Amino acid sequence: DTEKQTLGFQAEVKQLLQLMIHSLYSNKEIFLRELISNASDASDKLRFEAINNDALYGNDHELKIKVSFDKAARTITISDNGIGMSRDEAISHLGTIAKSGTKEFFGKLSGDQQADAALIGQFGVGFYSGFIVADKITVETRRAGLDAAHGVRWESAGEGDYSIEQIEKPSRGTDIILHLREGEDELLSSWKIKSIIRKYSDHISLPIVMAKEEWDEEKKETVVKDELETVNQASALWARAKSDITPEQYEEFYKHVSHDFAAPLTHTHNRVEGRSEYTQLLYIPAKAPFDLWDRNKRGGIKLYVKRVFIMDDAEQLMPTYLRFVKGVIDSADLPLNVSREILQESRDVKVIRDGSTKRVIGMLEELANADEQEKKDKYATFWTEFGQVLKEGVGEDAANKDRLAKLLRFASTNADSDEQTVSLADYVARMKEGQDKIYYATADSYKAAKNSPHLEIFRKKGVEVLLMTDRVDEWMLSFLTEFEGKELVSVAKGGLDLGSLEDEAEKKEHEETETSYKELTEKMKAALADKAKEVRVTFRLTDSPACLVADEHELSGNLLRMLKAAGQ
Ligand code: ADP
Ligand code: MG
């Protein structure tokens, strides 16, 4: 396949290009951040592959990113000497979107530019963002390990298709050449480009270099020198002292590692010394990714060993219930040639995972327990976006169960709202005189839970009930049977014992009523023999005539429905 070929974009790519150009225009400078971010990723990948194959470097060991522009040709070029792309890689990486769930994602776009811009940002705009300022992009690339004859030129005007051909490319890596749209000439300035790089890409650990410019007194103009200068700080951000990092730098670094477009909710940055030595810089996004529930989704932790990138999505470094956490962990102990298999068994990895888990929980506690409204609001946002995932931790992480239980938030009968804002501690603080249990109702919607006949007696007695309507709740509750010594009890379970909430007179009256209806309930039980296990007189209803309850030791009705739906 050496001839020039024209190929069509995947339908979603076409849609993304259209949308991006229109909705992200007001933020067009981000194209440079995205292309530099890719160049940095490409260098990380080369460094990693070269651990076992030093020949990949050839005679060019010094990884860097070069940005240049040509006023006459009206182009900006971003060059790297990273891993590069083969022909097949260029076709699959630059012509399709590989993320699963892409179709569903595009189905959600509304046509409202502002709303869609936020969604696209969350999706990650990446390479295609170049088309915000360019009406043609030329990519010239050569995969590390291939010879100069196996270069590839990819070119597109960002409409329906792109061309691809084999070229001679003397150097390894990738040049991205942006042919600027009409009216974008202000980008053709050294000062402008440098300021964009410093704003968005300062955290990149490789040097980003540009040609030096100097005022020439004789010519009375600035002239471009052959000499190169480094524009960014060029050191790994996480290895710098906290006090040397600005909030903006933390934020831009987050966008780089997460491929997210929006600022994170919060972060934690620590150097840990002791049994295992590592640095962690972990972030919580402000929004759940569209593929949060996709089991094959890319995880969020990048593993480095002594500043060398090892792998994306090091899922062994974070428990599944914290899969939304993004960031970097840099270990000083793991071997450079560590594989996923080794990670699985490594004791160092277990120490890092346990430590990181505690840090993330600590970061959440800090928001959840804060007095400042801003932090409280952040916790509310976190809970809305990721609360359901965190609940998985109650079952998965026995060691941290108690801390996680305190982070849970629920809707309850205390407020007339489906918002999940009540903590178990709030509930306990409001418990009635004589109440010794935490009561909850489960259902598949807030409305159903709120209108459950099981709540009647609790309303009458003024006892609060937690309303649980998330899919994971029943499962979680099988692990969460008590909180601070108070048993969690479903209002729908048989033989509801209200303990000392019932007074002696009531108890006596109940017993008498039961006896007087014994004949009737026996008859009903016989008639319903194969449908009901037991028929009882109830005191829990005040308006409804009858209700179904689950046996104390059996699965609840809601869980049974869920299991049935899941085909069990
Ligand atoms: P992302 O960075 O989130 O993967 P992008 O749209 O930014 O998405 O890039 C798509 C893919 O194209 C990258 O994952 C990578 O495989 C490839 N790519 C882009 N730029 C480069 C580059 N400079 N060198 C090598 N590969 C690149
Ligand atoms: Mg990218």
Identify the pLDDT of residue 97: 78
Which DSSP category does 454 fall into? Answer: G
- From the CB of residue 371, how many other CB atoms can be counted at a distance below 10 Å? 6
The number of the ligand nearest the C-alpha atom of 45 reads 1
Q: What is the pTM of this model?
A: 0.79
10-residue mean pLDDT profile of the chain (568 residues): values are 87 83 84 94 94 94 96 97 97 82 76 73 80 96 97 95 96 98 95 93 93 90 90 93 95 91 94 92 92 72 90 86 95 86 86 95 97 96 96 95 98 94 96 91 93 88 94 94 94 69 71 82 84 77 71 62 58
The three-class DSSP label of residue 389 is helix
Q: Whose CA is nearest to atom 8 of ligand 1?
A: 126
Identify the pLDDT of residue 249: 94
Residue 45 Cβ contacting ligand 1 at under 6 Å: no
Amino acid present at 324 = F
Residue 82 Cβ contacting ligand 1 at under 6 Å: yes
Distance from C-alpha of 131 to C-alpha of 114, rounded to nearest angstrom = 18
Here the tokens at position 431 are 């418990």
Distance from C-alpha of 362 to C-alpha of 47, rounded to nearest angstrom = 34
Q: Whose CA is nearest to atom 16 of ligand 1?
A: 93
Identify the pLDDT of residue 516: 81
Residue 356 Cβ contacting ligand 1 at under 6 Å: no
Identify the pLDDT of residue 342: 82
Annotated binding site for ATP: 34, 38, 80, 85, 99-101, 122-127, 174, 340
The number of the ligand nearest the C-alpha atom of 98 reads 1
3-state secondary structure 515-539: HHCHHHHHHHHHHCCCCCCCCCCCC
Residue 46 Cβ contacting ligand 1 at under 6 Å: no
> Which residues have a Cβ under 8 Å from the Cβ of 195 and sit 6 or more positions away?
none
Distance from C-alpha of 244 to C-alpha of 247, rounded to nearest angstrom = 10
What number does the ligand 1 atom closest to the CA of 39 have? 23
- From the CB of residue 208, how many other CB atoms can be counted at a distance below 10 Å? 27
- Which of 24, 32, 41 maximizes ligand 1 atoms within 8 Å of its Cβ, making it the mutation to test the pocket? 41
For residues 182 and 27, the answer to whether their CB atoms sit within 8 Å is no
Question: Closest Cα to residue 502, out of 436, 454, 556?
Answer: 436
Distance from C-alpha of 406 to C-alpha of 435, rounded to nearest angstrom = 20
Distances (CA, A) of 444 to 1, 357, 469, 507: 56, 31, 5, 33
Residue 93 Cβ contacting ligand 1 at under 6 Å: yes
Residue 156 Cβ contacting ligand 1 at under 6 Å: no
What number does the ligand 1 atom closest to the CA of 126 have? 7
For residues 325 and 283, the answer to whether their CB atoms sit within 8 Å is yes
- Which of 38, 92, 122, 290 maximizes ligand 1 atoms within 8 Å of its Cβ, making it the mutation to test the pocket? 38
Distance from C-alpha of 33 to C-alpha of 40, rounded to nearest angstrom = 10
Question: Closest Cα to residue 360, out of 268, 242, 423?
Answer: 268
Amino acid present at 165 = E
30-50 and 190-200 helices, crossing angle to 10°? 70
What number does the ligand 1 atom closest to the CA of 89 have? 16
Identify the pLDDT of residue 316: 87
What number does the ligand 1 atom closest to the CA of 83 have? 25
Element (H, E) at 506: helix 504-516
Q: What was the ipTM of the complex prediction?
A: 0.99
Which DSSP category does 493 fall into? Answer: B
Residue 260 Cβ contacting ligand 1 at under 6 Å: no
The three-class DSSP label of residue 167 is strand
Annotated binding site: 34, 38, 80, 85, 99-101, 122-127, 174, 340
Distance from C-alpha of 272 to C-alpha of 357, rounded to nearest angstrom = 13
Residue 83 Cβ contacting ligand 1 at under 6 Å: yes
Residue 267 Cβ contacting ligand 1 at under 6 Å: no
3-state secondary structure 240-286: CCHHHCCHHHHHHHHHHHHCCCCCCCEEEEEEECCCCCEEEEEEECC
The number of the ligand nearest the C-alpha atom of 139 reads 1
What number does the ligand 1 atom closest to the CA of 45 have? 25
Give the distance (Å) from ligand 2 centre to CA of residue 241. 27
> Which residues have a Cβ under 8 Å from the Cβ of 197 and sit 6 or more positions away?
32, 36, 67, 208, 210, 231, 232
Q: Whose CA is nearest to atom 17 of ligand 1?
A: 93
Distance from C-alpha of 541 to C-alpha of 546, rounded to nearest angstrom = 7
